[in-house]
Structure 1
Amino acid sequence: MRILFIDIDTLRPDHMGCYGYERCTTPNMDRVCAEGIRFDQYYCSDAPCLPSRASLVSGMFGIRNGAVGHGGTAADRRLTGPERDFTDMVDENCFHNIFRRAGMHTASVSTFPERHSSWWFNAGFNECYNVGGRGGESGERVLPVALDWLKRNEGRDNWFLHVHFWDPHTPYRAPESFGNPFENEPMHTWIGEETLELHKRHTGPHSINELSMYDDSTNPKFPRMPGSADDMAGLKRIMDGYDCGIRYTDTLVGQILDLLRAQGIYDDTAIIITSDHGENMGELGIYSEHATADYPTCHIPFILKWPGGKKGISESGLHYNLDLLPTMAELLGVKPGENWDGKSYAKAVMEGAEAGRDSLVISQMAHVCQRSARFGDWLYVRTYHDGFHLFDKEMLFNIRNDPHEQHDVKAEHPEVCAVGAKIILDWHDEQMLKSDSPIDPMMTVLHEGGPYHARGHLDAYLKRLEETGRAEGAAKLREKYKRA
């Protein structure tokens, strides 16, 4: 069997045609979707990049594997401790080793391990290719390596190939020669002029005034990436930059698929298309950043074309990305790991049966410290460090009616908040009892100075807020964080 895993960084499902987007961003991936299964409620358990892949690869929630942030102690996966054998069982039972155990030759084209010093990601691969861009490269450097591997392995059976593209991630870096396919197309956005004016008064990094996180600086190497936006034309430039990154990636994916077709193996190749996380594109006043434990950041696409599996259907059950481990193990006849937190949805793949969970708990510790419960129509968000966005401790959104989180309805539905809080509490207790450590890594993040992307920036940001007409927000931050 052959399996191709397309890993596209920072890809929102609702910016893909197969998920209903009106712009033509993903024609090649849409075709794969039509030949397989689209999962509509798929989430990373831990956001953003490093924590998401740590959970996927280890099969454990971040609260157990320890890697929940982008810096400090909690950016590293925990050591196993005295129980560690000659090889670490976390690596022995990792996602990539599922395919090795199934008799496959495994290869990866990705700069993720070097970008985040997360070398555990390479466990289970026979071959690893690093083009050296540390996540700053465009796909034009990745594609030739992937195509070359496929050409050199033509005629070979039983392989798993992981190909990782960063292009939708900021800074938007699709080559200038690609142009802008959406230059003369309108935006398809929920943001109007009134909302944009409200967002221009927002307090917090990666607002419409500070797309570079804490300021509006730009880099001439990335002409598609503005530092801020003042009007609807500026907003369109942001949306076009993101969508161009997606469309450009789709063209690269299309070339890989075309090669599989030319080699006569496309129909018999399993294809997985997914992302590590989504992206805030105006939700909660945040732009071009994966900064929260909410719907736009943690909701990710998942498309699976599986030979012998269901075709042309969608599945609406709640799933974590770490559920992929037991699913692949079951589909490939591999014994599951004893410490995995995932739940197989192989029946959805082979029979079209609903195989989702009743609820999910999703987490973010790199930009903010939040844990959220996703259940029914609801998203309940609990904030422990707001990353200078002045979020309330509790927020509640009806995702079915309000997917862009414009209306916090906690005051109207305290009973729903109670349900969400209990889901998080029960999940926390269960995970801590299963954990080999008595320490919740979120507490480590908080005690080491807060989320990595919020450390050391507050004083300069307070000054910027005051200089850009947002003194009221600065005053609230000064009071909250005890600044003179």
Structure 2
Amino acid sequence: MLLLLGACAPSGGEQPSPPPRLVLFLVDTLRADRLTPYGHDRPTSPNLERLVARGAVFDQAWSPAPWTLPATASLLTGVDPDRHGAGLHGSWRDLASQVPDGLAADVPTLAERLGDEGWRCEAFVTNPFVGFGLERGFESFTLRQTEAAEVLDWTLERLDVPGDERPTFLLAHLIDCHDPLLIPDEFVLDARPPGDRLPVPDISNRTFSTLAMTPEHRAARLRLYDGAVRYVDAQLGRLLDSLEADGSIDDTYLVFTSDHGEEVFESAALARGAGYVQPETVRPLGHGHTLFEEVLRVPLVIAGPGVEARGLHVPGAVATHDLVPTLLELLGVDHDPAELDARSLVGTLRGEHADARAVVSRGIAFGRDRSALLRDGWSLVRGGEGEATVLLRVGDPEHLDRSAEEPDRLLELGADLDALNSLAQSRRGSATQIDPAQRARLRALGYLDRDQE
């Protein structure tokens, strides 16, 4: 997702300052580790590197949910999935046969908040799950499945509307990194090294289940995915070129992120061993079925005027829906922090130290309900009834459960997750009480500073 916020010029000049502009460029299904600034060894994202040179890179940005509807609902509201209500519910979930619930009526979207301040808000989305109430607050909301180049054409056209001097908020959604990866031929060829003869249809998600899960097939699928990333990055380049050409790039905030990532066979054995899936129904490719790193860790780069941490890699964990309070603070829009389950990153952008925090992800689309806690370089995934809890080291290429060798850490993170789950239930208005020990944990995790005790 690319976000741009056009700042007002200082007063006192002969020319009036232009109205602010905000563009959310949401790249569906974009995992962080396939991007060059996040350590990928292929040049998939040269234009993102251009953006990185202007801003701060959040190395551990995590999605609050593993599929589009609940993840994007959090991105556009600053509220956790359990609180905004958009997604599937119940102990067993199957997106293939169940209709998800929409956004709760009493949870305002970013577009509604900005619209109340007099902004022009428009959206172009390519995934129907960027809906279900998320269209609220937009004057125009277009849903059409199309390629990234058309979405970028629309974005450039709608940045400025002659005669309309209102501040502008555009939501532009790109689905090209989502299966079946139907990208232009030149990017398919770029994704496949010389001598690779595996047919392109065989490395698309729609036919991959018929293939053996060999290292060759996985490598081919990842090369095709890299081609989709490169295609999306080319559209980012068009946007940066346009902003540079009209001289507005230095007066524009830019944020690049995604709703969730994508699994490509990394954790199939781990998921089977934990009882998350049965061997005959294992989903080794895609998203929505697990809460592992490849599905939850996404890019987040923020640049613009006042961002003093240029080129800085921020190591601590953040949640993608931290963007809402960040934007509201940058734009000077009043809000009640207690209405949000996220915290502003503006201090970090100004070079201030940020306390460590934990991030929770929920909202599974396939299988039993489960939750994940991410803190201090570790990930705890707690399964549903009859399923195991696993402890993973962030960035572990072997994807091994470390529960047996780290029993104390397993207990500590489990207690943290219990406390955060109790907090989530209390925010939903349930009768759940948070005991003193849990309150102490929540304060240490940086959560109770926004809540009245």
Contact 1:292 1:364 in 2 (8 A): no
TM-score of the two chains, using structure 2 as the length reference: 0.77
Larger deviation: 158-167 or 296-305?
A: 158-167
Contact 2:112 2:138 in 1 (8 A): yes
Distance, in Å, in 2 between the alignment partners of 1:231 and 1:154 is 58
- 1:301 partnered with 2:299: yes
Distance, in Å, in 1 between the alignment partners of 2:55 and 2:195 is 30
Q: Structure 1: which 5+ runs fail to align?
A: 80-87, 188-208, 219-224, 387-391, 440-484
Moved over 4 A (4+): 70-74, 151-157, 209-212
Contact 1:102 1:332 in 2 (8 A): no
* 1:135-284 superposed matches below 5 A: 137-150=146-159, 152=161, 158-184=167-193, 218=207, 227-229=210-212, 231-284=214-267
Quick one: structure 1 residues 359 and 246, their matched pair in 2 at CA, closer, same or farther if it must change by over 3 Å?
Answer: same
Distance, in Å, in 2 between the alignment partners of 1:74 and 1:424 is 28
State the 1:138 CA deviation. Answer: 2.4
Contact 2:74 2:321 in 1 (8 A): yes
Distance, in Å, in 1 between the alignment partners of 2:42 and 2:305 is 29
Distance, in Å, in 1 between the alignment partners of 2:257 and 2:163 is 25
TM-score of the two chains, using structure 1 as the length reference: 0.72
Aligned to 1:450: none
- 1:90 partnered with 2:107: yes
Query: What is the SS of the residue equivalent to 1:63?
Result: helix
Query: What is the SS of the residue equivalent to 1:46?
Result: coil
State the 1:364 CA deviation. Answer: 3.7
Q: One-letter code of the match for 2:343?
A: K
Distance, in Å, in 2 between the alignment partners of 1:175 and 1:242 is 12
Query: What is the SS of the residue equivalent to 1:410?
Result: coil
Q: Percent identity?
A: 26
Aligned to 2:100: 75
Quick one: structure 1 residues 438 and 180, their matched pair in 2 at CA, closer, same or farther if it must change by over 3 Å?
Answer: farther
Aligned to 1:474: none
- 1:124 partnered with 2:107: no
* 1:28-67 superposed matches below 5 A: 28-67=47-86
State the 1:243 CA deviation. Answer: 0.5
Distance, in Å, in 2 between the alignment partners of 1:30 and 1:186 is 29
CA RMSD across the alignment: 2.9
Distance, in Å, in 1 between the alignment partners of 2:431 and 2:147 is 41
Q: How many residues align?
A: 384
State the 1:38 CA deviation. Answer: 0.8
Quick one: structure 1 residues 259 and 277, their matched pair in 2 at CA, closer, same or farther if it must change by over 3 Å?
Answer: same
Contact 2:102 2:132 in 1 (8 A): no
Contact 1:2 1:157 in 2 (8 A): no
The C-alpha deviation readout for 1:222-266, integer Å capped at 9, x for no partner, is: xxx785355443223201111011001111221122222222212
- 1:288 partnered with 2:285: yes
Query: What is the SS of the residue equivalent to 1:272?
Result: strand
Aligned to 2:427: 434
Distance, in Å, in 2 between the alignment partners of 1:306 and 1:104 is 20
Contact 2:121 2:169 in 1 (8 A): yes
Query: What is the SS of the residue equivalent to 2:362?
Result: strand
Aligned to 2:390: 395
Aligned to 2:36: 17
Contact 1:316 1:354 in 2 (8 A): no
Aligned to 2:365: 366
Contact 2:316 2:376 in 1 (8 A): no
Q: One-letter code of the match for 1:68?
A: G
Q: One-letter code of the match for 2:139?
A: N
Quick one: structure 1 residues 231 and 43, their matched pair in 2 at CA, closer, same or farther if it must change by over 3 Å?
Answer: closer
State the 1:306 CA deviation. Answer: 2.1
State the 1:39 CA deviation. Answer: 0.9
Distance, in Å, in 1 between the alignment partners of 2:242 and 2:46 is 16
Contact 2:188 2:224 in 1 (8 A): no
